[in-house]
Structure 1
């Protein structure tokens, strides 16, 4: 385990984009159908930083092994303490515990940022890996949305999972 979990920088975004691009074009793990541009990634990074939400990378000696970030769950003000998590790994780095370390660090950073509820929206791809990862970190099933996505010629369900974080007494 040589990977270091740290805050993402603008310099990391090209590697983050490369990790994500394969998921967009070749899988149903994301419902995004067009690969985000470098400008899209810079805007996302800047927006999360401005909101005080975490964007982390797993850095393996300068190679980005994966990333995780939290976005606002919904735009209405009453949801301001609820976030959705996102985690993607370079396929060459799966099965090494990096996703678990990224998720643990993300949850800690979310708690520090004042997030109380973290929602995971997991595409039903036929693999339970993401749901199992989230369950190991205290997420529980919150529901299923049936046939809400259509990508690569098929309808896809999403599993909703939720975890309550401890309150941040500094807020």
Structure 2
């Protein structure tokens, strides 16, 4: 398996849309219930990239099989040093270390951009693989919102995880 992690490009949006579509339709990692269109995904990623948030993909043998990005936690200026991270791996490629490598690269990119805290909001408290992935990359469990999402005929929790980035809370973000 030839694995490469690289910045997202416009040509990756169709693969990202397909990966996310399956997550929406068959999984509880996201609380979306309708998959977004290719145009919606393209607009979302173009906006993130234009604001200098990192967006990465993982390729296996030249095909995009996973993606990860960091985005704003909240729009208020005081949250400017905090990002919320998301990662999705195609179901056929899980369990091969792709998510670990991709999330580590995303963390490196957020540090390089001067962010100080990263948050993960993990859909479904029974999503053990995602919780383990984040914990292996330095995230700590900081809370659970119980029964806040309704999908597939049942209530779902969200698990909140956090890790410091770079100098963490010892200094403000550069330019803040």
Question: The TM-score by the shorter chain falls in which range?
Answer: over 0.9
Q: Secondary structure at the match of 1:133?
A: helix
Alignment partners' CA distance in 2, 1:125 and 1:36: 24
Alignment partners' CA distance in 2, 1:36 and 1:62: 24
Alignment partners' CA distance in 2, 1:157 and 1:64: 29
1:126 deviates by 2.1
The equivalent residue for 1:109 is 109
Normalised by the length of structure 1, the TM-score is 0.95
Q: Does 1:98 align with 2:98?
A: yes
Q: Does 1:18 align with 2:18?
A: yes
1:51 deviates by 1.2
Normalised by the length of structure 2, the TM-score is 0.92
The equivalent residue for 1:148 is 148
Answer yes or no: is the 8 Å Cα contact 2:118–2:162 preserved in 1: yes
Q: How many aligned residue pairs are there? A: 171
Alignment partners' CA distance in 1, 2:160 and 2:132: 13
Unaligned runs of 5+ in 1: none
Q: Does 1:130 align with 2:130?
A: yes
Alignment partners' CA distance in 1, 2:75 and 2:36: 21
Answer yes or no: is the 8 Å Cα contact 2:117–2:162 preserved in 1: yes
Alignment partners' CA distance in 2, 1:74 and 1:12: 26
Please provide the CA RMSD for this pair.
1.6
Alignment partners' CA distance in 1, 2:103 and 2:120: 11
Unaligned runs of 5+ in 2: none
The equivalent residue for 2:119 is 119
Alignment partners' CA distance in 2, 1:100 and 1:57: 12
1:98 deviates by 0.3
Answer yes or no: is the 8 Å Cα contact 1:83–1:119 preserved in 2: yes
Q: Does 1:61 align with 2:61?
A: yes
Structure 1 stretches of 4+ with a deviation exceeding 4 A read none
Answer yes or no: is the 8 Å Cα contact 1:28–1:125 preserved in 2: no
